[in-house]
Amino acid sequence: MSTISIATAAEVIELLRDDLAAIETEFASQAESPVQVVTDIATYLIAGGGKRIRPLLLLLSSKALGCTSHSRIRLGAVVEMLHTATLVHDDIIDEADTRRGRPSSNTAWGNAKCVLAGDWLYMQSFRWALEERNFRVLDLLISLTQQMVEGELLQIQKLGHLINEEEYFDLIYRKTACLFKVSMQLGAAVANLSPQTNGIPAFDEPLGEYGRNLGLAFQIVDDVLDLTASEDVLGKPVASDLREGKATLAVIHALERGTGAEREAIRTVLADRSFEHVSHASILDVLHRHGSIEYAMDTACAYAEAARLSIADIPNSEAKRALLWVPGFVTSRDR
């Protein structure tokens, strides 16, 4: 990797402040509907905040390739709207009561209205993406949506069952890392650099690989925080994954190394989808005993470093310095 320095958080904020503010305005504008309940739900979701990491990645990808057009703002809002639609549907599927420390939208409006609002957000994001008149953009977004839906269906099939690491990584790629990857590739698509190969923009592959690796790291950290963080910090009930019957990386690691009694305890929680017979503290003891939390975090850090290495050949710029900063932020966050 080149000797270019990694940006600081303050430098990244300064670099993107105006563009991120423009994306918030664009998102709010895109989320307006003549049917008031759609606007109400969308406004509630926007006010819930979030890290906005997906539009941040799109901005940095496009900036790294010299794009200054409004396309980066429009598509930044599009990827955040897509992400928001997935959260609405996820909360309904998971029967979640809270999201980011507030009642989830389905708690406030009910499942029927929210599933339709999520559908509307999906379609609205594609409507705005169509303004680009760019087949590469549409191809990326269609493939992305299919993979995310497939990931959700696969996860539902596997709830309460034991899975191996290969299955886990396939799931988190489809559910999370694919959107990170596409956010980076969209930045390349709107930069319109030449030469292109069969309609694929220059630097599409390394930027996409960066997004994939970063997304895997992000989801592994999310899964670790679900096990170890406090509810006050996390903004939702802890150990939700285990209560929903989801085996994540640290749990899979412990299952492969635990004693018969330890494996049975984990299986019981996954099958019961509750801590009625085995406590959360008991499961954490098993995970710590076998170094499973550390294993998962080490894996996340390895993917974060792979993300940095993926963009070694991207031209040096302030945006590249910021891209080198993001993996450290992802692996060191507490929520």
User: For residue 77, what pLDDT band results from cuts at 50, 70 and 90?
Assistant: very high
Cis preceding-peptide flag for 34 (omega within 30 of 0): no
CATH of domain 9-332: 1.10.600.10
Model confidence pLDDT, tens digit, residues 16-72: 999 999 999 999 999 999 999 999 999 998 888 778 999 999 999 999 999 999 999
C-alpha gyration radius of the chain:
20
Give the C-alpha separation, 57 to 142, whole Å: 19
Confidence check: pLDDT of 95 > 90:
no
CB 270 within 8 A of CB 245: yes
Confidence check: pLDDT of 3 > 90:
no
Q: Which amino acid is at 152?
A: E
Model confidence pLDDT, tens digit, residues 124-183: 999 999 999 999 999 999 999 999 999 999 999 999 999 999 999 999 999 999 999 999
Confidence check: pLDDT of 1 > 70:
no
Give the C-alpha separation, 99 to 86, whole Å: 13
Give the C-alpha separation, 220 to 228, whole Å: 12
200 C-beta neighbours (distance < 10 Å), count = 15
3-class state of residue 98 by DSSP: strand
- DSSP-derived secondary structure letter, 174: I
137 to 127, 190, 201, 233, 321: CA distances (angstroms): 12, 8, 11, 36, 25
185 to 203, 216, 247, 313: CA distances (angstroms): 9, 16, 30, 16
**Measured at the alpha carbon of residue 272, what is the angle toward residues 269 and 278, in degrees to the nearest 5?**
40
Question: What is the pTM assigned to this prediction?
Answer: 0.94
Give the C-alpha separation, 22 to 115, whole Å: 28
Name residues whose C-beta falls within 8 Å of residue 280's C-beta, 6 or more positions apart in sequence. Answer: 238, 239, 242
Average pLDDT over residues 216-221: 98
Domain ranges in the chain are: 9-332
**112 φ, ψ to 5°?**
-60, -50
Query: Token match 């499973």: residue?
Result: 292
Residue-averaged pLDDT of the chain: 93
Buried b (16+ CB within 10 A) or exposed e, 71-92: bbbbbbbbbbbbbbbbbbbbbb
